[in-house]
Structure 1
Amino acid sequence: MRQILVNLVGNAIKFTHQGSILVDVGRETNSPEADPFRLHFLVRDTGIGIPLEKHQVIFEAFSQVDGSTTRQYGGTGLGLTITKRLIEMMGGKVWVESQLGEGSTFHFNLKLAPPQKTGSERNLRRTELESLHVLIVDDNETNRMILDEMLKNWRMVPTLADGGEAALMAMRWARDQGNSFPLVLLDGHMPGMDGFEVARRIKADPSLAGVTIMMLTSDRQAGDAARCRELGIKVYLVKPIGQSDLLDGILNALGTQILESASTVVPDKGIKAMRPMRLLLAEDNAVNAQLARILLRKWGHEVLLATNGREALDLLEAAGFKGFDAVLMDVQMPEMDGMEATAAIRARERTLGTHLPIIGVTAHAMKGDRERCLEGGMDGYVSKPIRPETLSSELARLVPGSARQETEESAAPNRVSTKTDAASAGALDRSALLDRVEGDLDLLGDIIELFKEDSVRQIVAIRDALDKKQADALRRAAHTLKGTCGNLGVSEAAASAQELEKLAAAGDFSRAHESLRTLEEQIQRAGRLLDDLKQECLR
């Protein structure tokens, strides 16, 4: 199913110069309740479109709309053929609706079995949001629709407005009816009256007092965080926004604690018991971020994610440098690295008289790294791959009142064999990986799938950078893949990615091609070993 969506979304991106791409999934309306789930997927774009006479031909091997398409966009035409075969193998069908010059919508359905068991959910206290009236303000129809569906899924009651004037009218009408909106989700950058001006007018109107505003934007601009702070807006999210992040943001904006304030989290043996904390994680590597985020949430902490130092600084600015217990700051990130972000945070704190603990995270683990982090204004330091007990110790050491007396010992988690045969020891360190996830088999499965997706993405980026002889892009992609592999105990591939990173820094493209071939073989081998481990976990 992942490959099907990758093919269809990849095509949509290739043929859409401007506009939008929407992926939607829902249950087939004519699917009998007793049957296994039949889901209906669609991928809609505003691209070049397909003439009616080509609607069936495009699913045939080596077929494109016409010769000029191949010349302009490249490709063999096999993607849709493979997609069609995959869908049919899974018992589904695929079709297209399109007009030349007006975009395309690819539909497919799949018959899937319902899950045998449901995983444990976080205690999000969603019932507190039921029947809550929310105003969604966004000039983009697709964005309004997505937010509308998310809120309805949580049994909230959304009202939609397509611009600032419509939003103010809706709020005044609701006020006059005695049913004001407690929460407004406001797009920051709209034509005409932008979200910041709407927020200013809301704040200036005494009859609209008490409304909570969340600012959402897909076009983050310098100064947005400061403007939010001036307007008293403490939650500022960058689109696209995942459901978990949106829900966390809503609960935070409304002052609802996700975790019960009186609870003490007692993690697995060897991990210090801690009170629930609110942490900011700055990490650009998707696999590393997911692993750290899930691990921290497992310990009972609320985690907000920033993908670079600039985003971390913006989130802190939007919150007025309040509400966070600590920051986990990756040292090496794009746009603004961890050292730059730390310097900016410390400069801002000097004017506020505050101090937020910052723990530096680095992939180097070299002599002098700890000293450099501390000299740069950080309070602590952990090296990748992160060991859970090391991270928990740093948090307990640096955050006042975080450690609690452990009153009970949690049951040992489910475990699988950690034995690694000599032939595969370098390709995958099973013991190290299981330690990273603390024996959590659900987390292990998620991380394995994320690794497989991200490693393919980074290999493609490396190959593209090599073809274009772009040393910086090659170095960044190799560095990212090195960190991903290291965190999962894929040590051979991590070493090869590190070698490729060095070759990129030296501009040695000829040897880099050879190194890439070795790296690809190691990634494929690691993928097979990870799949074997995952299957063993399921038994």
Structure 2
Amino acid sequence: MPISKRIVDAAGGSITVKTKKGAGTEFIIKLQIEAVKGTENRYSGNKCLSALIINNNRSHSAQIAEALEKLGITFCSYDNKHDDGFTADRHFDIIVSDADRVNKIAEYIGKNDNNITYIVTTENQSDLSLSKYPGAVKGVCLIPLLTFDLKRILSEHCKGFTDNFSDNNPGHCDELDNSSRTLSGKYILLAEDVEVNVQIVKAMLAKYNVNIEVAANGRKALEMFCRNPDYYYDIILMDLRMPLMDGFQCAKEIRNIRSEYAKTVPIIAMTASAFSEDVNKAKQCGMTAFLTKPVNSDELSRTLTQAVSEENV
């Protein structure tokens, strides 16, 4: 809340609170923001695809619906309480369900339409292995759902799924090719204590063929850095707020190691706070770049590419 207040104040807005005993609290933020012209959905070519969501959990269904909408796919939801919802005569290109009825849905697909792209969602990390499910299941996504994960599976398995972004933005295509050439095979140490953030970074960088090793806190990151030989890691992505040892202290400890590698390896800060004092402190601790969460995919790849390129000069 203090961070929200500072951001709103910096933007010249206001934040007020209304509380009613027994009913809850309402926070109201007012900002003057310039309206911008809308742009065509980069996935507009997918409007011919249809998806069926089968999930009893409303929150999970909403996440799936939001991701499908971003990908330009039409969809409808089915209440899991009835047995014949997914056996309706209507054709669906995609089915996204929870794990409760995998066998029944897989059996239906096997008998009726093997071209359906069937995706299962789960909250459990231990249930992410595709080998645990029938052959009809083409992919498994973790809840909270990342659009990146859904897109990755659809790109590989769903006939007719397209991404028109590259066609409409040739400059972006050149940038993507450059990042792919520069980052391919690089080793990244990711210091991040929130698992969802780890999955987001991995999803964003999956197309660049990088190797990512994760440390859940600054102390572990420092240990991993010291344990491996010089020049093992090409880049360090450092969250600033972590337990046991924060990113500031970890970066400082790395820079204090007596080796040319420790003093020059790129350390890129990641934080939800974009205030000048954090940026200045990160620089003082030896960090070479600063990314604000939520991290933008293009900005992340651009920053990593620049860091590696400068290191090789």
Per the shorter chain, which TM-score range?
A: 0.5 to 0.7
Following superposition, the deviation at residue 103 of structure 1 comes to 5.9
**Counterpart of 1:207 in structure 2: which amino acid?**
N
2:121 to 216, 222, 229: 216
**Counterpart of 2:3 in structure 1: which amino acid?**
Q
* Partner residue in 1 for 2:87: 172
**Counterpart of 1:249 in structure 2: which amino acid?**
I
* Partner residue in 1 for 2:301: none
* Partner residue in 2 for 1:94: 16
Deviation string, structure 1 residues 232-285 (Cα, Å, up to 9, x no partner): 32321112123333333332331547598xx9x7669998959xx9x9x99653
RMSD: 5.2
The answer on 1:196 being equivalent to 2:111 is no
Distance in 2 separating the partners of 1:116 and 1:180: 35
Contact 1:266 1:273 in 2 (8 A): no
Residue pairs, 1:48-59, within 5 angstroms: none
Contact 1:267 1:273 in 2 (8 A): no
Deviation string, structure 1 residues 312-369 (Cα, Å, up to 9, x no partner): xxxxxxxxxxxxxx67252x656xxxxxxxxxxxxxxxxxxxxxxxxxxx734854x8
1:113 to 20, 34, 54: 34
Distance in 2 separating the partners of 1:247 and 1:201: 25
Distance in 2 separating the partners of 1:152 and 1:273: 32
* Partner residue in 2 for 1:152: 69
**Counterpart of 2:16 in structure 1: which amino acid?**
V
Classify the secondary structure of the residue corresponding to 1:160: strand
Distance in 2 separating the partners of 1:148 and 1:94: 31
Residue pairs, 1:41-52, within 5 angstroms: none
Change (3 A) 1:363 1:145: same
Following superposition, the deviation at residue 203 of structure 1 comes to 3.4
Change (3 A) 1:223 1:117: closer
* Partner residue in 1 for 2:211: 328
Distance in 1 separating the partners of 2:38 and 2:123: 36
Distance in 1 separating the partners of 2:87 and 2:177: 55
Change (3 A) 1:162 1:497: farther
Following superposition, the deviation at residue 144 of structure 1 comes to 1.5
Following superposition, the deviation at residue 211 of structure 1 comes to 1.5
* Partner residue in 1 for 2:131: 226
Contact 2:121 2:141 in 1 (8 A): yes
Deviation string, structure 1 residues 61-85 (Cα, Å, up to 9, x no partner): xxxxxxxxxxxxxxxxxxxxxx399
The aligned length equals 251
Classify the secondary structure of the residue corresponding to 1:139: coil
Following superposition, the deviation at residue 160 of structure 1 comes to 0.9
The answer on 1:495 being equivalent to 2:248 is no
2:225 to 363, 366, 369: 363
Distance in 2 separating the partners of 1:246 and 1:131: 17
Change (3 A) 1:142 1:285: same
Classify the secondary structure of the residue corresponding to 1:111: coil
**Counterpart of 1:363 in structure 2: which amino acid?**
F
TM-score by length of 1: 0.36
Following superposition, the deviation at residue 159 of structure 1 comes to 0.8
* Partner residue in 2 for 1:3: 3
**Counterpart of 1:94 in structure 2: which amino acid?**
T
* Partner residue in 2 for 1:385: 234
Deviation string, structure 1 residues 104-139 (Cα, Å, up to 9, x no partner): 554434332346999xx9xx9623311421111222
Contact 2:8 2:15 in 1 (8 A): no
Change (3 A) 1:159 1:222: closer
Distance in 2 separating the partners of 1:220 and 1:96: 38
* Partner residue in 1 for 2:311: none
Q: Specify which structure has the bigger relative contact order, considering alpha-carbon pairs within 8 angstroms and separated by 6 or more residues.
A: 2
* Partner residue in 2 for 1:516: none
Structure 2 unaligned runs (5+)?
217-223, 259-278, 291-313
Contact 2:188 2:233 in 1 (8 A): no
Distance in 2 separating the partners of 1:248 and 1:184: 15
Classify the secondary structure of the residue corresponding to 1:363: helix
Classify the secondary structure of the residue corresponding to 1:234: strand
**Counterpart of 2:153 in structure 1: which amino acid?**
G
Change (3 A) 1:238 1:95: same
**Counterpart of 1:385 in structure 2: which amino acid?**
D
* Partner residue in 2 for 1:183: 94
Following superposition, the deviation at residue 87 of structure 1 comes to 5.8
Deviation string, structure 1 residues 439-458 (Cα, Å, up to 9, x no partner): xxxxxxxx9xxx6xx31x22
Distance in 2 separating the partners of 1:108 and 1:144: 27
* Partner residue in 2 for 1:254: 158
Change (3 A) 1:527 1:481: closer
The sequence identity of aligned pairs, in percent, is 12
Residue pairs, 1:512-531, within 5 angstroms: 522-523=281-282, 525=284
Change (3 A) 1:157 1:497: farther
* Partner residue in 2 for 1:207: 112
Contact 2:52 2:96 in 1 (8 A): yes
Larger radius of gyration: 1
Distance in 1 separating the partners of 2:27 and 2:51: 32
**Counterpart of 1:285 in structure 2: which amino acid?**
A
Q: Would you tell me which structure has more strand in proportion to its own residues?
A: 2
Distance in 1 separating the partners of 2:137 and 2:199: 26
Contact 1:215 1:236 in 2 (8 A): yes
Distance in 1 separating the partners of 2:129 and 2:180: 38
Classify the secondary structure of the residue corresponding to 1:200: helix
Distance in 2 separating the partners of 1:198 and 1:207: 12
**Counterpart of 2:62 in structure 1: which amino acid?**
M
Contact 2:46 2:162 in 1 (8 A): no
1:242 to 138, 146, 156: 146
* Partner residue in 2 for 1:376: none
